[in-house]
Amino acid sequence: MGGLADLRSAAERSAREGAVRATVFGLDVQTRAPVQLLRGARAAATGRALELIVDEHETRVKHWPDSAELVCDQREVDGSVSFRIEHDARAGYLIEGPAYGASVLELDGRRVRCMPEGRADQSWQRLLIAQVLPFAAILQGLEALHASAVVTKSGAIALSGPSRAGKTTLALELCRRGARFLADDVLALECSGGQLLGHPGSPVAGLAHAEAQRLESARTPLAAEPLAVNAREQLVAMRAARGPAPLAALFFLERRGDAAAAPRFEVVTEPRTLLAATFNTVLTEPARLRALLELCAVISTRRVERVVIGPRTGVEQLAAAIEHRIGRPA
């Protein structure tokens, strides 16, 4: 009881001091900045604190060590840099991209300093929810899947697959049919009390323009007006789940040009498929790798299936097939 009282006291003190708390990815993010892409988060506090500092006037060049090691270099199709991650044994992790500004995340995942460097709010905040906060969650002991997720009566349903597989579109359709939105693109997971819990992410979905056009042509309206639109996607506000949910199933979406219109389900038995769906391959210490293997072992006890989708498979048809599938015993 004392722990809950302490959390309430801290929340009340933060409110008086002008701070804002949003619990996302299993982290209690405390900040004085108006971070739009965290608004609407409704989950209860978890006790894993992260301080978010936004410095509009700072740049990473002023304080980041030149000796830092490059550990991730994500590129666009044309070869240009999307984002990079550097590591320093004392300073932590630098996560930056030409379109996103820079963020420095401390080694324990408890503090991050964001430096927008003149980028629009939706740009630097996009990197924050897509990379920085999930990275912090892993540093604080959680794990993550590269997956979108919703909550149904069966529990959390995770949807993984390559870019343009339709993960977000399917999640939105399942929400339209009564599911609750849990996460888009990154699902934070925690083993707790014998359960594998999926935590709510940011209450925002990133919908590629092609996906948005497909929804419009199918006369399936978006959940809300876009928060922001850029060259790649529309960011749509979602009504977030109020708390974590036990993982019930993981579906891998695989589009094949020669597949039939009716979705086909195949049980996934290859461990590599599960490992490939985990988020963040930067942290490769033995303890983290053991945690990944243990996570995959637990996930494998749930329903884990590949969904083979043809070019004529509509999102309504796919959502109905998923609903029917999870209604069956695993």
Topology, domain 144-326: Rossmann fold (3.40.50)
Question: Taking the complete model, does pTM exceed 0.75, yes or no?
Answer: yes
> What are the pLDDT digits (tens) for 113-138?
999 999 999 899 999 999 999 999 99
Q: Return mean pLDDT, the chain.
A: 88
Residue 315 neighbours by CB under 8 Å, 6+ apart? 166, 169, 170, 173, 214, 215, 218, 220
CA 197 to centroid of chain Cα atoms: 14
Give yes or no for a contact between 267 and 305, defined as CB atoms under 8 angstroms apart: yes
Tally the C-alpha atoms within 13 A of residue 321's C-alpha that lie toward its C-beta: 19
Residue carrying the six token digits 């990133």:
206
Structure confidence at residue 225 (pLDDT): 63
Domain definitions of the chain by residue range? 2-140, 144-326
Q: How far is CA 182 from CA 11, 134, 175, 203, 204, in A?
A: 23, 14, 10, 8, 10
Which residues on adjacent β-strands are paired with residue 330? none
Structure confidence at residue 271 (pLDDT): 87
Q: Strand 180-183 and strand 81-88: pairing? A: unpaired
- Is pLDDT larger for residue 24 or for residue 58? 24
Structure confidence at residue 7 (pLDDT): 41
Structure confidence at residue 104 (pLDDT): 96
- Is pLDDT larger for residue 4 or for residue 296? 296
> What are the pLDDT digits (tens) for 84-104?
999 999 999 999 999 999 999
Q: How far is CA 16 from CA 7, 8, 104, 183, 276, in A?
A: 14, 12, 27, 30, 44
Which residues on adjacent β-strands are paired with residue 198? 189, 245
> What are the pLDDT digits (tens) for 190-238?
998 889 999 999 999 988 777 777 666 655 555 556 777 777 788 889 9
